[in-house]
Amino acid sequence: MGRVLVTGGSGFLGAHCIVQLLNAGHEVRATVRARKREPEVRAMVAQGGAQAGDRLAIFEADLTADAGWAEAVAGCDRVLHVASPFGGAFKHEDELIVPAREGALRVLAAARDAGVRRVVLTSSFAAVGYGHPPRAEPFTERDWTEVGQADVQPYIKSKALAERAAWDFIAREARGLELTVINPVGIFGPVLGPDYSSSIQIVRGMLAGAMPAVPRTWFGLVDVRDAADLHLRAMTAPQAAGQRFLAVAGEPLSMFQVAQALRRGLSPAEAARVPRREIPDLLVRLMALRSERMRQIVPQLGKRRRASNAKAREVLGWSPRPNEEVILATARSLIDLGLIDA
């Protein structure tokens, strides 16, 4: 057992990583952008079934500034760098790319200077499977997103460039620091509070009746508990040093298949606990018109990208939950915590 720093401790994946680390007997430190979020982190950890007590310490540190990182990482054996800027309004792609890249480098440098043995970086499938022609074979860890292609959006580009920068840092300046990278697809699974991944809005919107139609999109998914488990395996396995691992449960699901899984899997009693709203016919028609416009501007519609989890299974003994179980766990947690409103 050792001391592990988790960056982005108030986030969906970060909180689940803290839960599993505590349950495995580790001492945990976690960073948040604002210290006032400490009660929220501790509440999520308790909701996840871990007893934190004095084995969890919270530090304030932001990816865009140096302050706080040396203190947070001091005395740690390993770092799970889960935090990452995401989305929001921006005028130029650099407003996403620069914080993602510089934040990763800032954490790596602080870890190296503190004598950390290994950093596990949470990247994304966005760094693997975009900017390529359509293909039937699954993407693997050998693939990289082609950031120069016109259909690669700024968020996707930011993930690819940040991971590239991390590997370049290790090649040039590591001085003994090891790096392992996890590349998850869409992260679903049981939420621990109101802070969860944007992908979960898909399930939440379907349950609330706010989605009268679904676009022709497919995506891979993974349960947040399995993604956290893969981080912990990658943190300690000697053979994981210098490797990337795709975190994906199985074949991509379409939006319609997600809706079918919810309808098929939730019991009448569970469905009765969901507040719903009716969408007026006029609004449905307007949204349909809007979706035609979206078809022109969103290059991912109609594309299906497969990804292989063979490396994580074979090298680290990882065994993720199946897709439908992940979707239903997501829905039930939203219902149980009262996070669906009409």
How is 259-304 classified by DSSP, letter by letter?
HHHHHHHS-HHHHHTS---PPPHHHHHHHHHHHHHHHHH-TTTT--
> Strands, DSSP E only, in the chain?
3-7, 27-32, 56-60, 78-81, 118-122, 178-184, 186-188, 218-219, 221-223, 244-247, 253-254
Eight-class DSSP state of 239: G
Whose tokens are 């800027």? That residue is 85
Rounded CA-CA distance 340/342 in Å is: 7
Cβ atoms of residues 152 and 146 within 8 Å: yes
Q: How far apart are CA 274 and CA 338, in angstroms?
A: 8
For strands 253-254 and 218-219, give the pairing: antiparallel
Choose, from 36, 157, 159, 311, the residue flagged as catalytic: 159
Name the phi and psi angles at 231, rounded to 5: -60, -45
**Helices marked H in 124-254:** 154-173, 200-207, 224-236
Cα separation of the two ends of the chain: 45
- The pair phi, psi for residue 79, each rounded to 5°, is -130, 130
Residue type, 331: A
Nearest 10 degrees: CA dihedral of 161, 162, 167, 170?
140
- Phi-psi domain of 338 (left: phi exceeds 0; alpha: psi -120 through 50; beta: other): left
Tell me, yes or no, if 159 is annotated catalytic: yes
- Active centre residues (catalytic): 159
